[in-house]
Amino acid sequence: MQAMCSVFIAVSLDGFIARPDGRIDWLNAANAAVPPGEDCGYADFIAEVDAIVMGRHTFEQVLTFDPWPFGDMPVTVLTTKPFRLGRSFPPTVEASSETPQALTARLSAKGLNRLYVDGGETIRRFIAVGLIDSMTITVVPVLLGEGRRMFGALERDLVLDHVTTKSFPCGFVQSVYRFRRDALLQTPTGANPPIDN
């Protein structure tokens, strides 16, 4: 069985997950307006996860959190650089330069069947090879104008199924989308009949 890969991420209304330098001060400021006890579904989401896969940038940001937020959960950090960081991290963390396919297959073989895929570049790589099953996207009502994007270039259109949407009094709009299993088997864009206006 191949692991199910899920995304749970916040984006600005104009589609950024961080400023150009990686800062998420805008997200922290927005979170400050969320009432205590409201986690916008994060605890329910993480309770259904067996392991986390993230990119190096995201990991470096997570390392600044105190305490370590992922308990005993296995974490794989995808990186092509030698894995050397300024401070120690839990033994549950491993580094890997595997492809999304190879990593997913290896973790699945270990019985880690529900993966939380995090970080813009990592999410885009997984999407590009058709490995993401569902995305929970929380839209924060702010326009940043520039930054690191959630989505990137694709070989072809990907049509998703909308599962559910809810909004929160703080102004967040959270939608769940599911990728279609055959999404990567669809006709390439260039071959679509041009239904121009």
* 67 upstream amide cis, omega within 30 of 0: yes
Binding mask 87-106 for a copy of itself (x = CB under 8 A): --------------------
Single residue of 102, 105, 143, 187 touching a copy of itself by CB under 8 A: 143
Binding of residue 197 to a copy of itself (CB under 8 A) = yes
Nearest C-alpha neighbor of 172 from the set 6, 45, 26, 62 = 26
Single residue of 4, 34, 85, 160 touching a copy of itself by CB under 8 A: 160
- Give the pair of three-digit tokens for residue 5: 């890969």
Binding of residue 75 to a copy of itself (CB under 8 A) = no
Reported as half-sphere exposure (CB side, CA atoms, 13 A), residue 16 has a value of: 19
Binding of residue 47 to a copy of itself (CB under 8 A) = no
- Give the pair of three-digit tokens for residue 54: 């993230």
Pseudo-torsion of CA 8, 9, 10, 12, nearest 10°? -130
Binding of residue 161 to a copy of itself (CB under 8 A) = yes
Residues from 9 through 38 that contact a copy of itself (CB under 8 A): 13-15, 23-26, 28-29
CB nearer to a copy of itself: pick between 58 and 104: 58
- How many residues sit in the footprint of a copy of itself (CB under 8 A)? 48
Cα–Cα distances in Å, from 53 out to 45, 73, 117? 15, 11, 5
State the Cα–Cα distance between residues 89 and 180, nearest whole angstrom. Answer: 36
Binding of residue 65 to a copy of itself (CB under 8 A) = yes
CB nearer to a copy of itself: pick between 8 and 108: 8
Binding of residue 48 to a copy of itself (CB under 8 A) = no
